[in-house]
Amino acid sequence: MNTIQVTLKDGSVREYPYASSYQDIAASISRGLAKSALAAKVDGKVVDLHAKLTNDAKVEFLTFEDEGGRDALRHSASHIMAQAVKRLFGDVKVGIGPSIANGFYYDFDTAHTFTPDDLTKIQAEMEKIIKEDLPIERREVTREEAVKLFADQDEIYKVELISGLPDDVVISLYQQGEFVDLCAGPHVPSTGRVKVVKLQNLAGAYWRGDEKRKMLQRIYGTSFEKKADLDAYLTMLEEAAKRDHRKLGRELDLFSMQEEGPGFPFFHPKGMIIRNELEAFWRKLHIKYGYQEIKTPIILHQKLWHQSGHWDHYRENMYFTNIDGEGYAVKPMNCPGGILVYRNNHHSYRDLPLRTAELGLVHRHELHGALHGLMRVRSFTQDDAHIFMLPSQIKQEIMKVIELFDTVYSVFGLTYHAELSTKPEKAMGSDEMWELATNALQDALESKNMPYKINEGDGAFYGPKIDFHLKDSIGRTWQCGTIQLDMQMPERFELNYIGEDGQKHRPVMIHRVAYGSMERFIGILIEHFAGAFPVWLAPVQVKLLPITDRQAAYANELAAMMRDADIRVEVDERNEKIGYKIREGQMEKVPYMLIIGDKEMESKTVAVRKRGQGDIGTQPVEQFLAGISEEISNKTI
């Protein structure tokens, strides 16, 4: 074969000599593409630009604007970091070093304890390696060659990784200068393509995530093509640190985590106000969309979890107990309980779709090191819903769920994008059922004209799913809402309905959450709003600040009037200067502070200070009440 046909992203077809590199192909298209391309996607698989063209293929070139391009660059940066550490510290053994969202890390085993000063030295050495512009070259070796190479270097972790690889896996190494690493790739062509790096922090990490294995030292970093982009990212991180929900949760007295219950959050009175408002909004919206609320037990017999498949697919994340000599499990998910509610009654096709919703408390075992405030906990409330329907209703119901999600997220000013996840390696059911379910989700997304990306193999064990990734006020994304289409559970639980023909038929099931986890969603909102909640969510909506004791009685009269109007109000009667009281209210991020002096008391007015705007003037009490009541009713952001 002398020439090979390449179909490019724009649909055009070009011919190239056999064994042309993708770097050569990029250069033939344009000098700019050759300079910006970091990797190539060939028939859906991301490969090095040094790789050779051996078959007709669809080829797309990936730059830093593409996820695959960013991953290749940051993965290469992790290798540069490992090379720098090996140069600086002689006794180092290396673990693994992948790219991750927004950066990379590498794990090291060394007697030396890394310090922040070491990060400065390592980064300087990385910058030298980048300037050396070392080619990053891939070679494939036999298992025996790989084991000997790393055993000779006393790289015990690499030898262990090789021993765990399946027999049919191609073992590849990447080399840059004196540094060789076991790696599947892909990588950028040379160290000089990495451009800008920043090492960020240190952490401990058990080898392979196993608490029984050795604790290694993990160094996190990030990499960009342009310094301006790195600076913008670091500025965002500084803003994120100010918004950290754990810090604001303490300062605003919303919640706490106690050593007596690691991973089990304690909500304080002000945090409960936010939670209750979110639940009230959720209930009202679900009534509007035709859902019926249910409640199912937290502990259920282990035979249920065998039947649902959780015992085989999710047992390591579950908690167990023994009652009357029999095994029970604390529920990690609400769906089996919801299925039992459906199965409790006979159903006709006329009853479907049947939409049930539950604010269900679930428990999942998370490793202690993975716990993170409200974002990663061991007990949380899922705003679950389960829709049982006819196969003909699938598309319509999915579209209605998307409409509900859109309503929820728009209330908080959150935009989102969708991702479709397909059949994982460990899954229940036939390929045919999975294809039918996946096509149904895809069809609904396309009918809504929603752009989406596909995550191959990332679905739940019982069905494909659509995940909704929310974008907050400083540009970070959070995965919250999920729609999972399930044809497996109705089969396992032998669910049925009586069809028009008088015969039994199997319903199709949707699992879906809008908030996802109530706890995590509250954490996201704390950071999204930086603790300055919109009026309808704010734990204290109004603070009345009498200037002296003379106005205290009038302030309490106003407070009673506001409570009658369902406005959350506090009176600051402390014998403090008004400036001090105002500063305190600002620290507490109260939306409105009303200053009351003799003049306001006599004229039945209030001097209004609005959060973020300061003094906005004096208003009659009735005017202020009407305005804030409208803000609350409209859920104004």
**Mind telling me the catalytic residues?**
335, 364, 382, 384, 386, 465, 511
Q: How many CB atoms lie within 10 A of CB 113?
A: 8
How is residue 354 written in tokens? Answer: 């049947």
Measured CA angle at 508 (ends 506, 510), to 5 deg: 155
Amino acid, single-letter form, for residue 310: H
Question: With helix as H, strand as E and coil as C, how does 23-43 read?
Answer: HHHHHHHCHHHHHHCCEEEEC
Q: Would you call 543 helix, strand, or coil by DSSP?
A: strand
Q: Which of 188, 170, 185 is nearest to 129 (CA)?
A: 188
Do 191 and 132 touch, CB atoms closer than 8 A?
yes
Helices 431-447 and 394-411, packing angle to 10 deg:
50
Question: CA angle 420-515-403, nearest 5°?
Answer: 60
What is the β-pairing status of strands 299-301 and 326-330? antiparallel
Dihedral sign, Cα of residue 116, residue 118, residue 120, residue 123: negative
Q: How far apart are CA 441 and CA 436, in angstroms?
A: 9
Question: Concatenated DSSP letters for 282-319?
Answer: HHHHHHHTT-EE----SEEEHHHHHHHTHHHHTGGG-E
DSSP state, 204? E
Assess contact for 428 and 461: CB atoms under 8 A.
yes
Question: Do 137 and 50 contact (CB within 8 A), yes or no?
Answer: yes
